[in-house]
Amino acid sequence: MRRGGMVIGVLVGVLALAAAGCGGGSDDNAGSASAATAAPQTTSAPSTTAAAAGGGGGEDEVQLVTTDFKFDKTSLKAKAGSQVKVELRNRGKAEHNFTFAEGDANQDVEAGEDATVTFTAPAAGSYGFHCKYHPATMKGTITVT
Ligand SMILES: [Cu+2]
């Protein structure tokens, strides 16, 4: 009887350790995954997620249309610290992408489809964004003030 109790106790301890290890390591992945799957299209109140994110200077939305092989806008503006939601519309026949390294954004958008990605604008300055598949022709500038 006593032996059985001890074995269970050890097992519980091991499980607790495993769970703690998992939680610590995967924070980054969880963050980007939830950003990528954030509700597309709907403009209905994103209050729950916005509250969780907190801080910052509000949220801006920008629509960015991709064709083969360019963005419809090559200069975007943002306020430092604000949440910027980029609605990608791929009207081309190739898969495109929006990469903004300083904002940790890297979002693919399949041909003919839409995708949404949100990033936090960094400190004031001028930064580049691009499509990682066609960086030579598909690129632009984000001016943060
Ligand atoms: Cu592209």
pLDDT higher than 70, residue 32: no
Euclidean distance between CA atoms 96 and 139, whole angstroms: 11
Cβ–Cβ under 8 Å, residues 117 and 64: no
List, for residues 63-118, the tens digit of each pLDDT value.
Answer: 999 999 999 999 999 999 999 999 999 999 999 999 999 999 999 999 999 999 99
For tokens 């963005």, name the residue.
Answer: 71
In this prediction, residues 27-47 reach a mean pLDDT of 43
Cα angle at 137 between 134 and 142, to 5 degrees? 95
Cβ–Cβ under 8 Å, residues 76 and 117: no
Find the 34 Cα to ligand 1 centroid distance in Å: 23
At residue 144, the pLDDT reads: 98
Find the 127 Cα to ligand 1 centroid distance in Å: 18
Cβ–Cβ under 8 Å, residues 88 and 119: no
Find the 78 Cα to ligand 1 centroid distance in Å: 22
Euclidean distance between CA atoms 14 and 109, whole angstroms: 42
Return residues with CB closer than 5 A to ligand 1 (ion).
Answer: 96, 131, 133-134, 138
Find the 113 Cα to ligand 1 centroid distance in Å: 13
Find the 70 Cα to ligand 1 centroid distance in Å: 7
Q: How far apart are the first and last CA of the chain?
A: 69
Find the 97 Cα to ligand 1 centroid distance in Å: 6
CA distances in angstroms from 54 to 2, 23, 35, 100, 117, listed in the order given: 50, 21, 15, 21, 17
